[in-house]
Every structure is written in C-alpha cells, then in structure tokens.
Amino acid sequence: MRCSGKVAIVTGGAMGIGRAIVEALLAEGANVVIADRDGAEQAAQALDNAQNSLVGVACDVSSQRDTEAMASAALEAFGRIDVLVNNAGVYSSLELKPFEDLDIDEWRRVLEVNVIGQAMATRAVVPAMRRQGGGSIVNLSSGTPFKGVPFVLHYVASKGAVNAMTKALAKELGGADIRVNAVAPGFTLSDGVLKNPHQLEKLQEISRQARVIQRDQHPDDIVGAVIYFASQDSAFVTGQTLVVDGGAYFH
C-alpha cells in the first residue's frame, strides 16, 4: 500500500497502459481520477471497489479548459492532488512513414497532445501541489528518442521534448518539493497497438529481438516504474527518465 491515502490523476486512463496504471495505483491504496477523452466514467464504474475512491472525468489534454476542469474535479472529490501521471498521448493510431510524407496536421495533433497536453495537465495540478507542500509528476515518454527510431519523426520529436521538459520542470518545481520524473517504455502491446496491424507487422518482432529479455512488452511491465515514482520510494529522485524496455536500450 505504498500510495495509501494519495490522490492520483491518470490521463488517458480508460484503456491500455493508462488502465493498467490506474489498477496498480488502486492496488497500492490510492484514490484515482481517470481522465480520458472517451470512456473515463465507464472505466471508473467498472473498476470501482469498496477500498478505494475512483472518479472518471472526460478530458482532452490538448484543451486548457479540460485540464483545468480535471484538476478541479479531483480537488472537489478528494481535496488534494498528490500524483499526476501524464499518460495520454497519440501513438497507436500512427502509421510508419518517411518524414517527407508525414501530414502537417498530424504533426500538430501529436505535439498538441504529447507535449503541450502534458504541460497543460501539469500546469493545472501544480497550484494544488504547491499549497499542500509537494507532489509527484510522472510523465510517460518513450525509448524512441534514445534510439532514433525512424518513420515516426513527429512522435519521436514529441517524446524527446517530454524528456527535456521532465528535466527542466524538475528544476523549476524542486523548491516546492514537487518531483518530476519520466518512464520511457519500449514498443508495448497496448489495446490501441493491438488494433493497428500496420504497427504490429512492422515493429513487434524487431522490438522483441532487440531486447535482452526477448519477449513482448505489455502494459503491466510499465506499472512498477510508475508506482516507484508516484510513491515515497523515490522521495529523493527527480529529473530522471527510466527506460523500461526489456534491455533494448541501456540508459
């Protein structure tokens, strides 16, 4: 029960990696706000149990109004915000293409959600964390910027920005005892990826063979690192990016 009594917000928490993180936080005793563009309330109803409080909030992280409403809903329900997991992102719907063929509107959407969305969600919760004397922000990044993965340049660029923001925000917020860290998964068989045969065909086998631990990566493989950063186990750790990819990249 490492997160007992804590209040955590998980963006993109209705399915996939986010849903696995929500379940892990609940198991560790946290009260959780699921913030997602679709299915947040249904996910909260499906996971609700007697031990924990769980709230679902409709939220598009690329909307400032939505992220502010997300923070307000958490405060209204639980009175505080201890953890923000910036999980919402655009990836599973993308097709691998040479950078010359990437649509400019798709570029903008990827950056709006993956970069500006994380920044706005963070900005929405920081005032509450300052008032209560601290908190933890966990950004979901990716191993792709470290490896220079081709054919998803907009995605790689967005997650490189997340890694940079993690370091800069750690310095800005450290004086308020707000820790900022990132978890960088490898290619993960999330719900969205499993619905994209193009990605599976191109990336599943090559990702598996590149790992020291040669198996597929699943959402449950990521949650331990998130819980570590969300809990007091990492009370003196900030500004770090932990690559969780079965040993495909050593960082």
Answer yes or no: is pLDDT of 74 > 60: yes
Output the pTM of the full model: 0.94
Residue with tokens 């890694």, as numbered in its chain: 163
- CATH architecture designation of domain 7-244: 3-Layer(aba) Sandwich (3.40)
- Residue 249: burial class (beta carbons within 10 Å; 0-12, 13-18, 19+): middle
From edge to edge, which strands make up the β-sheet containing 54-58? Answer: 54-58, 31-36, 7-11, 83-86, 135-140, 178-185, 241-244
Q: How far is CA 58 from CA 41, 191, 192, in A?
A: 7, 19, 19
The separation between CA 208 and the C-alpha centre of its own chain, rounded to angstroms, equals: 22
Type of residue numbered 179: R
Phi–psi pair at 210, nearest 5 degrees: -80, -10
Single out the residue of 1, 237, 99, 28 nearest to residue 10, CA to CA.
Answer: 28
249 catalytic? Reply is: no
Quick: pLDDT tens for 226-249.
Answer: 999 999 999 999 999 999 999 999
Quick: pLDDT tens for 180-230.
Answer: 999 999 999 988 888 888 888 888 888 999 999 999 999 999 999 999 999
Q: Which of 91, 155, 228, 249 is catalytic?
A: 155
Domain-wise residue ranges, the chain: 7-244
Q: 171 CB contacts (<8 Å, ≥6 apart)?
A: 239
